[in-house]
Structures are given as structure tokens and as C-alpha cells.
């Protein structure tokens, strides 16, 4: 039987054996589909994700948004600035903790939610998958991401 231990290094190197590549390709394919669906809203896909969080949770510090989306301030700061420039988001320094900046949607941002309501259904339809299949795949991916996030970097170097 073919197992992790009996498979040769050579076989592992084949492109079509790389799950990371399938993941990468599927993500980019999704990105393309979202690009089309979000075009009329004037949003990029990461901007849409940030709005999903703010629509769902209300006003949040940048830090919390980053925890929900697994993104840091280096990505979120300019992204939020662009959302602010577009008039969908307001930012202000927290009164309780002056280090913290919170973001919340403006009226325009809230109105955008109505226009976004139809997006996920069209995306889901585009996948050609049932809700159950989607849920299963999502659960698999979440488990995978959780495990990968826990990996000790030292386990990856040649010398161990």
C-alpha cells in the first residue's frame, strides 16, 4: 500500500501531487468569479470579506478584524483606508484605548449590504456544489488550515 513513508521523494515533487497548488488554483479561480460578481459593487474580494465582518459584528478594532480574517495591520490598514476613501467605512481612534482604531460601516456601507445579498448565492451556484458538499469541504479546509497554523517552523527545516 502507498503511504507517506513508502512514497519516494521523487513522486512527491510531481506538480499534480501538490495539494497546495490545487488549493492555490481553486482560490484564484474563486477570486476571478468574485471579481466578476463584486465588480458592480466596486469592491475587491478582500474588501468584501472585511465588510462581511463589519456587517456581521458591527464596529470592531482593526486587530479584531484581523483575527477574523487572519490578516495583519500591514494588509488591513491600507485596505481600510481605501474602503474609507470609497465612503463605505469610518475609522476612529478608540477612546478607551488610544492605541486602537475601530472601523464601522457608514450608511453607504450599510446600503451596500443590500446589494451584496445576492452575491453568495450566485457564487454558490457557480460552484455547482450542494450546500452539504460545500459545508463538508469547508470543514476539511478549516481543519487543514488550523493544523498548518500550528506547525512549528523548526519542523520544516532540513536539519529539523
Partner DNA sequence: GGCCATTCAGTTGTGCACAACTGAATTGTG
Partner DNA sequence: CACAATTCAGTTGTGCACAACTGAATGGCC
- State which of positions 52-81 bind DNA (CB under 7 A): 61-63, 66, 70-81
Contact call for residues 36 and 26 (beta carbons, < 8 A): no
Nearer to DNA, 4 or 19 (CB): 19
DSSP of 5-65: TTS-HHHHT-GGG-HHHHHHHHHHHHHHHHHHHHGGGT--HHHHHHHHHHHHH-SEEHHHH
Could you say whether residue 35 binds DNA (CB under 7 A)? yes
- Residue 95 as a binder of a second copy (CB under 8 A): the answer is no
Q: Which of residues 21-50 bind a second copy (CB under 8 A)?
A: 21-34, 36-37, 39-40, 45, 49
91 touches a second copy by CB under 8 A? no
C-alpha cell read off for 75: 494588509
Binding to DNA in span 83-122, by CB under 7 A: 91, 96-101
68 neighbors 75 (Cβ within 8 angstroms): no
Cβ closer to DNA: 99 or 121?
Answer: 99
Q: How far apart are the first and last CA of the chain?
A: 27
Between residues 9 and 96, which has the closer beta carbon with respect to a second copy? 9
Amino acid at each position: 500500500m502507498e503511504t507517506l513513508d513508502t512514497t519516494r521523494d521523487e513522486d512527491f515533487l510531481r506538480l499534480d501531487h501538490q495539494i497546495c497548488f490545487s488549493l492555490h488554483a481553486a482560490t484564484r479561480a474563486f477570486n476571478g468569479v468574485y471579481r466578476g460578481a463584486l465588480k458592480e459593487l466596486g469592491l475587491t474580494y478582500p474588501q468584501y470579506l472585511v465588510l462581511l465582518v463589519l456587517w456581521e459584528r458591527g464596529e470592531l478594532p482593526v486587530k479584531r478584524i484581523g483575527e477574523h480574517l487572519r490578516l495583519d495591520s500591514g494588509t488591513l490598514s491600507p485596505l481600510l483606508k481605501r474602503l474609507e476613501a470609497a465612503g463605505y467605512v469610518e475609522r476612529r481612534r478608540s477612546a478607551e484605548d488610544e492605541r486602537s482604531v475601530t472601523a464601522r460601516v457608514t450608511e453607504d456601507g450599510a446600503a451596500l449590504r443590500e446589494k451584496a445579498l445576492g452575491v453568495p448565492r450566485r457564487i454558490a451556484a457557480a460552484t455547482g456544489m450542494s450546500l452539504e458538499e460545500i459545508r463538508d469541504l469547508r470543514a476539511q479546509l478549516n481543519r487543514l488550515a488550523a493544523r498548518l497554523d500550528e506547525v512549528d517552523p523548526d519542523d520544516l527545516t532540513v536539519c529539523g
